[in-house]
Chain A
């Protein structure tokens, strides 16, 4: 069974640009969550999607948005990039949406975004 796939693996952008990151969950998983990982702040939750609906949202500005498609694939978009957006962006999928199984999350290898 294929794991969680994130594309691209690496991305370099300049301030003010926008970027779209893609995540394909494990087959059969309907919940997809996004995280930002930086050395200073650690792992911070961005948002979670289930059945094309955002179920949960972290404390990030509106420049960060996401969506989920009917096949459970998800994208996140960051507009008007800032230097501080440089980070590893991780996507995770899970099988269930409640109970302990919800939080057994399977992570992709991430997209490393550098903003110059």
Chain B
């Protein structure tokens, strides 16, 4: 079945460092891909999405490009801030499948040091 694999955390970086969180997926169809973020004490919220190959999703300085050839959707940010400390979830869903559900990776915890 469909699945999502994320790099294990925690990831610890200094403020203003470059961030990459790796995400690869397995899907038989043509999934849409998502990154969700969970700040401490809160639920998840959508960070960005991409619905087809070569699409780039972006929001709040974060970017991810849908790479069909490498089945990847890596999350990047050029200069992280302390306020980016959170857990990041990669997810997929294939809207072509009836009654599909969204499948989440296990999450990557990010710590940003001032």
Q: Which residues of A contact B (CB under 8 A)?
A: 4, 33, 35, 41-43, 45, 48, 55-56, 58, 90, 92, 98-100, 102-110
Contact = CB atoms under 8 A, between A and B. Distances in A.
A1 to B, nearest CB: 14
Given A35-B104, A104-B46, 10 more contacts: A33-B102, A41-B106, A42-B105, A43-B106, A103-B34, A103-B102, A104-B49, A105-B44, A106-B45, A109-B42
Interface of B: 32, 34, 41-46, 49, 51, 89, 91, 93, 95, 99, 101-107
A105 B102 contact: yes
B5 to A, nearest CB: 11
Q: What are the 3 tightest A-B residue pairs by CB atom distance, in nearest-first order?
A: A107-B43, A42-B106, A103-B93
Nearest to A3: B43
A107 B42 CA distance: 8
Contact of A48 (B44, B101, B107): B101
A100 B32 contact: yes
Contact of A103 (B32, B89, B106): B32
Contacts of B43: 4, 90, 92, 107-110
A48 B101 CA distance: 9
Choose among B45, B91, B102, B103 the residue with the greatest number of A CB atoms under 10 Å from its CB. B102
Contacts of A92: 43-44
Contacts of A55: 99
23 contacts: A33-B101, A33-B102, A35-B104, A42-B104, A42-B105, A43-B44, A43-B89, A43-B104, A43-B107, A45-B102, A45-B103, A45-B104, A55-B99, A56-B101, A90-B44, A98-B95, A100-B32, A100-B95, A106-B46, A107-B43, A109-B42, A109-B43, A110-B43
Nearest to B42: A109
A45 B89 contact: no
